[in-house]
């Protein structure tokens, strides 16, 4: 583990500010530590010599209070920096996932990402409040204190210089072993969260097939594994703390013995000897604390590394997209931006809005070619597994593909899907909240009349827009949920009619009469100039089609 990952400073501005603040506090703490040791030495030697030490004691009290305030300020700044950094990294993570797209997200364990963004980044408190301040003190205070010791008594300074490197050496050796078990612990926690989420989501199916007990046993096994990995981390933590304390105690003891013998022989004054003895533990304290806090901060650091991997991937994707995109003739650079859909629509209108698919191939499926023009409905049909849904997944960035797909002359791979596509899939994908909020999803200023019109066009006129839904749209039947999802796509299309309207099996849960009404609604929208892609296995869809693309059919 790097002491401070440069990517943390690049992605989180709060971390840069806190590092600068820690350096300033560290400099002041170093000065206060030296002053405290000198004032305490002066008070003790003055009392022995019979001098008035009232002034020294008063200044000693002031420095003690100042030292306490500095420690409190460091803790407060660390806690605040941890919170701000966590917020910044979470926001950057969400933005990065948006840039990488649904295709990338589909290949990742989403529960593990949630654990990383939640519990993992919350563990940054120990990293900022305890680890970084001690690391900064090690860099600033330790060399200064050793230099002062050398200046006052070079044999004591030489002893510190010889023994100090042993502590980081042992810290590195133990840290390498600790890193392995901490990585396993973090991975086990992620697996435990993913397994639990999968079990809860599929609990009804597991109970139906009598596998719920086995699923619970697997969770118990994973939890026990996490317990064992946690105990291993604690053992290494205690071992590291013991090694640090032992080495530091031996080093301070060597200095104390040397000072004691030279005091007895008269080669060293009491004032210098006591001053050096008070500084010696302070010189070793920061590096000892770095070793102790290393373990407390490791979980948060492991989480940030996972976040940085996602941010780096998004940066690489953005760089490749920027390289592949060129400014259009009207001065609008469309590739690689998640810009405003309406602005892009205006530029698309000037260049035409045809969707041209040429030999598009997803995985090992047959290639697909067609052109969808404004004012037409293109029906994609074929047997199960022929690639109908895969085609839409490729167009919306959820699947990689070979060949080309261009909208208004622009490769869809460099266009934000939200800017040119209004889509409804086979899974409704509803969220907790009102029906209206689900229909207007993504619209910062929802239009009540538009929501009502979209529900009517989707044959969901009987569904109240203010109706509250539970998690994943609970409270609606399958057909109702599907109609709300279609209404969402229609609402989005109505907000920018230049978008392509793509519907994947929108009538699979509808009865014949409702399906016919939906087909009439889509036909009217196409006659008004919409470009519609309709994936359907229903033969009735042919009645409203301008062209039919049959997949999985031999020529």
Domain boundaries, the chain: 6-322, 341-550
341-550 CATH choice from 2.60.40.790, 3.40.50.300, 3.40.50.970, 3.40.50.620: 3.40.50.300
The pLDDT of residue 355 is above 90: yes
The answer to whether domain 6-322 and domain 341-550 are alike in fold is: no
Across the chain, mean pLDDT equals 81
What band does 340 get if pLDDT is binned at 50, 70 and 90? Answer: very low
Whether the predicted pLDDT of 252 surpasses 60? yes
> What does the block give as tokens for 296?
């407390």
Which of 193-197, 202-206, 339-343, 497-501 tops mean pLDDT? Answer: 497-501
Phi-psi region at 365: left, alpha or beta (left = phi > 0; alpha = psi -120 to 50): beta
Reported as a pLDDT band with limits 50, 70 and 90, residue 464 is very high
Domain 6-322 in CATH 1.20.1560.10: yes
pLDDT tens-digit series, residues 47-95? 888 888 888 889 989 999 998 899 888 888 888 888 888 888 888 888 8
CB 241 within 8 A of CB 291: yes
Q: What pLDDT is attached to residue 250?
A: 85
Q: What is the mean pLDDT of residues 505-517?
A: 87
Task: Name the least confident of 205-209, 287-291, 310-314.
Answer: 205-209
- Among the residue ranges 55-69, 233-247, 300-314, 315-329, the one predicted with the least confidence is 315-329
Q: How confident is the model at residue 28 (pLDDT cuts 50, 70, 90)?
A: very high
Q: Of 14, 2, 10, give the one whose Cα is nearest residue 79.
A: 14
Please give the pLDDT value at position 332.
Answer: 39
pTM for the complete prediction? 0.59
Where does the pLDDT of residue 350 fall: very low under 50, low under 70, confident under 90, or very high at 90 and above? very low
29 token code pair: 């703490």
Rounded mean pLDDT of 144-161? 89
Maximum CA extent, the chain:
111
Q: Residues 35-39: contacts with CB within 8 Å, 24+ apart?
A: 35/59, 35/63, 36/60, 36/63, 36/64, 36/67, 37/275, 37/278, 37/279, 37/282, 38/275, 39/63
Can you give the pLDDT at residue 329? 41
Give the chain's count of helices (H) and strands (E).
19, 11
Q: 380 pairs with which residues across the strands?
A: 535, 549
- Quick check: 550 and 370 in contact, CB under 8 A? no
Return the pLDDT at 309. Answer: 82
Residue 330 pLDDT greater than 70, yes or no: no
The owner of tokens 């002034």 is: 55
Handedness of CA 299, 301, 303, 305 (dihedral sign): negative
DSSP 165-201: THHHHHHHHHHHHHHHHHHHHHHHHHHHHHHHHHHHH
């Amino acid at each position: 583990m790097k002491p401070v990952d440069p990517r943390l400073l690049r992605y989180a501005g709060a971390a840069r500010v806190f590092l600068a603040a820690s350096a300033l506090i560290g400099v002041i703490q170093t000065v206060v530590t030296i002053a405290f040791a000198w004032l305490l030495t002066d008070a003790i030697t003055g009392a022995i010599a019979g001098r008035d030490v009232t002034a020294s004691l008063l200044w000693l009290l002031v420095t003690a209070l100042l030292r306490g305030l500095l420690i409190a300020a460091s803790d407060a700044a660390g806690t605040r920096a941890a919170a701000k950094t966590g917020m910044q990294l979470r926001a950057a993570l969400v933005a990065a996932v948006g840039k990488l797209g649904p295709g990338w997200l589909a290949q990742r364990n989403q529960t593990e990402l949630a654990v990383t963004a939640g519990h993992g980044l919350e563990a940054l408190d120990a990293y900022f409040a305890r680890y970084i301040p001690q690391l900064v003190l090690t860099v600033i205070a330790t060399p200064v204190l050793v230099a002062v010791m050398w200046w006052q008594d070079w044999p004591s300074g030489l002893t510190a210089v010889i023994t100090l490197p042993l502590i980081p050496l042992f810290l590195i050796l133990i840290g390498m072993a600790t890193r392995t078990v901490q990585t396993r612990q973090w991975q086990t926690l992620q697996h435990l969260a993913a397994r639990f989420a999968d079990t809860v989501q599929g609990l009804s199916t597991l109970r139906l097939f009598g596998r719920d007990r086995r699923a619970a046993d697997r969770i118990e096994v994973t939890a026990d594994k996490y317990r064992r990995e946690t105990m291993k981390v604690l053992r290494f933590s205690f071992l590291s703390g013991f090694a640090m304390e032992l080495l530091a105690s031996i080093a301070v003891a060597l200095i104390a013995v040397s000072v004691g013998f030279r005091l007895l022989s008269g080669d060293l004054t009491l004032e210098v000897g006591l001053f050096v003895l008070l500084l010696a533990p302070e010189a070793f304290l920061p590096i000892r604390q770095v070793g102790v806090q290393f373990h407390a901060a490791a979980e948060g650091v492991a989480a940030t590394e996972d976040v940085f991997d996602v941010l780096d991937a998004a940066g690489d994707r953005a760089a490749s997209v920027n390289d592949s995109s060129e400014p259009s003739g009207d001065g609008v650079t469309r590739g690689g931006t998640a810009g405003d859909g309406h602005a892009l629509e205006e530029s698309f209108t000037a260049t035409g809005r045809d969707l041209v698919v040429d030999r598009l191939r997803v995985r090992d499926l047959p290639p697909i070619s067609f052109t969808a023009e404004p004012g037409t409905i293109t029906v994609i049909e074929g047997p199960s597994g022929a690639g109908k849904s895969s085609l839409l997944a490729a167009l919306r960035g959820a699947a990689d593909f070979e060949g080309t797909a261009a909208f208004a002359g622009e490769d869809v791979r460099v266009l934000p899907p939200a800017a040119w596509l209004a889509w409804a899939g086979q899974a409704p994908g509803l969220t907790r909240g009102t029906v209206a909020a689900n229909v207007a999803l993504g619209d910062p200023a929802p239009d009540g009349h538009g929501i009502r019109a979209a529900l009517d066009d989707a044959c969901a006129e009987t569904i109240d827009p203010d109706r509250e839904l539970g998690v994943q749209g609970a409270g609606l039947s399958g057909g109702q949920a599907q109609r709300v999802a279609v209404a969402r796509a229609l609402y989005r299309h109505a907000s920018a009619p230049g978008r392509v309207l793509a519907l994947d099996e929108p009538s699979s849960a509808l009865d014949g009469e409702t399906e016919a009404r939906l087909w009439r609604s889509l036909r009217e929208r196409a006659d008004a100039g919409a470009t519609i892609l309709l994936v359907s296995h229903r033969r009735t869809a042919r009645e409203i089609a301008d062209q039919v693309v049959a997949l999985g059919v031999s020529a």
